[in-house]
Each structure stands twice: as C-alpha cells, then as structure tokens.
Amino acid sequence: MDSRKTQVLEVYVDGRCRLCQRMRALVEPRDRTRAIEWLDYNEDHVAARAAPTTREQLHARMHVRRLTDGAWATGYDAWLEIIRILPGWRALAPVLSTRPARFIGRALYELIARNRRRLFGTVECDRACSSQNDGVRETARKEP
C-alpha cells in the first residue's frame, strides 16, 4: 500500500534535537495508520520541500502541513494538529484548543523551543541524518 495515500500530516522537526526525537518516539507508535510523515529539515531536500518556509523558520519551531488542504500550523498549534489525528489523544484537542490553554500552551512551547538544544542536547551526524537516525551518534553535548 502506498503510504502517501494514508498520510494526513507532514511534520517538520529538528532531527538533531534530542527533545524532538523523544517526542517523535512517543507519538510514532500511536500513529497506527501512519498518518504522519516525519521530516528532518536539516536535510536539504526536506528544507526545499518546505519552501517557501525557510530553514531558519523551521528551526524556530515545529511546523506541520495538512496534506488535505495545504494549511500550515506551527509550534503549539502544530501539536494540536498531531493530537487531533491520534486515536486516544484526539479527545484532548477540544480542551487544549480553548483560549486559556492556547495562551499558556503557546507561551510554554516558545520557551521550550528557544532553549531545547541547551536543555536537552543534540545529536551529531556522521553523515546526513536519515529518518531512521542512521549515522547519528548520541552526545551529551548541549549548546551554550
């Protein structure tokens, strides 16, 4: 079966960010229909695919593109898009979409996103990191 037929979201993440990798590892097993395509914007062909969004914009926060209509969501709102399609999690979406939850969620997301590499560290790549993390060495390195 062609996986593109079942995909609903493209998720653009920093594949070298440990937090991003952990979040993907948490979500991926719950995505039973493979509705999410995870993309590492550090790879040139992926960054080109996200155009006109720049790599700098992608680095600032996670980006999600809905394949059904081409709409983009970023940061906390991108997480809402993911939550809405995951069985067992989608029931949380209405609560997390309320004005107070969005206000708090967006502020918290931005704080963590700005500091994610310093707080959680990064991985180094021996070559371009693939979606399966081939060629990636875990390091305790944290950015200043």
Q: What is the pLDDT of residue 143?
A: 43
pTM of the model: 0.79
Region 42-55: what's the mean pLDDT? 94
Helix (H, G, I), strand (E, B) or coil at 86: coil
Q: Cβ of 41: how many Cβ atoms within 10 Å?
A: 23
User: Which segments of the chain are extended strands (E)?
Assistant: 9-13, 36-40, 63-66, 72-74, 123-125, 136-138
pLDDT of 138 > 80? The answer is no
Binning pLDDT at 50, 70 and 90, where does residue 125 land? Answer: low
Q: What is the pLDDT of residue 134?
A: 40
Region 12-41: what's the mean pLDDT? 94
Region 26-55: what's the mean pLDDT? 94
Instruction: Report domain extents, the chain.
Output: 3-138
